[in-house]
Structures are given as C-alpha cells and as structure tokens.
Amino acid sequence: MALSGGVDSAVTARLLLDAGRMVTGITFRVGQGTPPPDAAVAVAARLGIPHHVVDLSEPFAREVLAPFVDGYARGDTPSPCALCNPRIKFGALLAVARDLGCGQLATGHYVQAGIDPAGRHRLFRGVDLDKDQSYFLFGLSQEQLARARFPLGAMRKDEVRRLGSEWGLVSHDKPESQDLCFLPDGDYARLVAARHPEVARAGDIVDGGGHVLGRHRGCCRYTPGQRRGLGLGGGPWYVVAVRPASNTVVVGSVAEASSSRVCVTGVNWQGAPPPLGVAQEVAVQVRYRMRSVMARLTVDGVGDVRLALAEPVLGIAPGQAAVWYDGEALLGGGWIVR
C-alpha cells in the first residue's frame, strides 16, 4: 500500500485489511522538501501493519523533476503527476514492493479498474467525478495495470472522509494534499529559475503582430489561456503562447488563445487504437479538472495522434496531457506538442 498518511491511503489500507489482504505500507520520499513520513508511520501503527520508508529521490529527480523544470525552460506547461505515476509510483515503488514480496500495489486514487472482453487491463473514471484521477494514470502499461489496485474507485470522497474519522485513522478536517508534493510552498517558478535563470528574466508581452503591450516577470510564470496577472490595460487579454527563445509572452483575444486542433505524441493506449488513418469519435480532456469535449481522433504513420475537437478550447498547453475516453473507459493519452 502506497501510504502517504492522508485519509485516502489510510482508508484504502483499512479496506484491504477488512477484505482479508496481507498489507504492507510503503512511504516514499523524493527529497528534503517533502513532508516527513510521521503521519504515515502513525497510520501504519494504528492499523498494525509493517511499514517501510524508501528514498526515491534519485529516480524522482531524473524521471520527474528534470523533465518538469526543462519543460518550463522550453515554454511548456508540464504535468508532473502524469509522469510520476508510471515512472515512480508504479515504476520504482512497484519494484520496491515486489522486492518486499508483495504481488500488487494499491493506491488511494479515485479510479476504477477492470478487464475488457479482449483481455486488456483498463481504467475507468471513478464514481466520484469531482475526484476522478484517471487522467493522471493514462501512462500505465498493461503490466503495471495488472498489478495495480484502486479500492476507492467506487467510493465518494465524503464517504472516505467519514470512514477515516470513524476508524480513528485521520482527523476529519485534515487538509487535502497540495498539488505538487515536491514543492510544499507551491513556488515552482523559484525551482525553475534556480536551474534555468534565463526563463525567469523579465521581458516583453506582445500581441500577435509583435507590438509590445507590457512586461512580464519571467516566461516560466505564464501558461497558455492565462488571463490573470498580466497587468495589461484594455483587453481582455489571454496568453496565446510562451516563447523563451525570444523571452516574450504572446497575448491575444480568447479566440486567439483557443484551438480546436491538437497534436499529441508519446501516446500510450490502454484500449485498442483505431486503424491507421481511420477517425474515431472520443471524449477528450486536455487538462485535469475540465469537462470533456468530443473529438475525432486519428493516428498517423508514426503513431502520433491528431485530435479535431468539436469546439475550440481555451488554453491548450504543450507539455500537458491529452487523455481520451469512450464513455467512462479510458482509451489512451499522450503529450500535447502543439
């Protein structure tokens, strides 16, 4: 059990014990800035399960942190959680679990798993759509999915909180974990600036014609679709593109900052892909916590995906994940390049 000490992982561990499973808790740390495992140690003690703390700072720095900061240096908007799940939680951590003699790895993700008629392991949206985390798990391989367990997928968050309180595992008012576990203060720009100071320099905000409208505080602080914090008169203005090479941030109207076509690379399929060049109707998310939009999906000759959205979407950002579904079933996903 990937045990963070929060309510989701604590309740998951108790549910597994109640189902008669032999459970070992594993807490991983990814650097000095991450919270100490005190809460996880306390939960394991209350449950009476073995508990191990492992240092995964080296693979995390290589597989998640470096792509994160390098992505901002390119002008992308990275999605570190979508990298962490296949590479760290169900990569390095799953390897540790197997070394400990555990055949499966459970997490507190709100997602459901199953097997389709063709025998492929599949993910489905969690019952609690407000907490559904399938988007971040698109990169899991068939081997990883075969060893993954998600007991919270059929539950709602309020029910999980209630059980955590009733069982005395976690305080009912314990706050949610932050979006970036490796940055407790949330200041990602400081981290990026330390490694790539060139993208933290002030520069020009320009319109599509190159006319200077104002000054920005560093390219790494802006993302396509952003409206707040631009400090411009007139408008409304939205970020259209971030261009570190010229140290400029391009702004425009909402129409200019929206797109109905998306190119995706690094694709991972959990369902069967359509034949080459044959369009498939899918529902697509181009970022977490957005409503899905219908799209026509085609696969090109190198395995990349082209998405023609039924309506323009604001702020489609290179570096984010695009994930597509058939109803509640996750079909596949990849990385937006343009």
**Residues acting as catalytic residues:** 84, 181
3-state secondary structure of 41: helix
Q: How many CB atoms lie within 10 A of CB 102?
A: 17
Q: Could you give the C-alpha distances from 166 to 38, 106, 159, 169, 212, in angstroms and in order?
A: 21, 22, 10, 8, 59
Selection from 207, 204, 243, 317 nearest residue 73 by Cα? 243
**Distance of CA 97 to CAs 93, 94, 104, 145, Å?**
6, 5, 8, 15
Range list of β-strands (E), 107-225: 111-115, 121-125, 148-149, 203-206, 212-216
The answer to whether 262 and 322 have CB atoms below 8 angstroms apart is yes
> For residue 79, how far is the Cα from the chain centroid?
5
Within a 13 Å sphere around the CA of 78, how many CA atoms are in the beta-carbon half?
22
